[in-house]
Amino acid sequence: MHNDLHTLRRILKSCRTIAVVGLSAEWHRPSFFAAKYMQSRGYSVVPVNPRYAGQTILGAACYASLQDIPHPVDMVDVFRRSEDVLPIAEQAVQIGARCLWQQLGVHNTEADALARAAGLDSVVNRCVKIEHARLFGGLNWVGVNTGVISARRLA
């Protein structure tokens, strides 16, 4: 299975540069929150959104498309509607990304099949932030009630 824990852990350990397609500059949007979380965990986040091209989001230069990014990216994390993902998957293959990650609520089976056929890891309908927190710790950071009512860390 492609979304099993071992695969997700391997992807999140090896894919350190993440192009976030559909990243919003608005702090309350899920894409912004997920990207900020990944940045705080040491990942390099590359914003991709034509609306903000030429500007910066979270201190990083924003690009209009994946092809405009002047350096390699490991993962393409997609915050777009499912029907918009296929051309993004094609671009992910063209730029040599190693993983196509369709966020929670995003599931394009054609894009998934295309990415796999090209040798990319492909994750569908999962949140990169939640999976990272679940596999590497940090669920309290993402708003999950851990049942701890203390400012101290548990031993």
Q: What confidence tens digit (pLDDT) does each residue in 8-22 have? A: 999 999 999 999 999
Summary mean pLDDT of the chain: 90
Statement: residue 101 has pLDDT above 70: yes
Rounded (10°) angle between helices 109-117 and 85-94: 10
Task: Locate 113 and state its tokens.
Answer: 């099949």
Statement: residue 142 has pLDDT above 90: no
Share of the chain above pLDDT 90, in %: 82
Q: What is the mean pLDDT of residues 97-112?
A: 97
Residue 146 corresponds to which amino acid?
Answer: T
Helix and strand counts by DSSP (H, E) for the chain:
5, 7
Q: What is the mean pLDDT of residues 54-81?
A: 97
How far from the centroid of its chain's Cα atoms is residue 72's Cα?
15
- Reduced to 3 states (helix: H, G, I; strand: E, B; else coil), residue 70 is coil
In angstroms, the CA 2 to CA 7 distance is 7
Which residue ranges form the domains of the chain, and what is each CATH number?
5-140 (3.40.50.720)
Statement: residue 141 has pLDDT above 60: no
Burial status of residue 153 (CB atoms within 10 A of its CB: 0-12, 13-18, 19 or more)? exposed
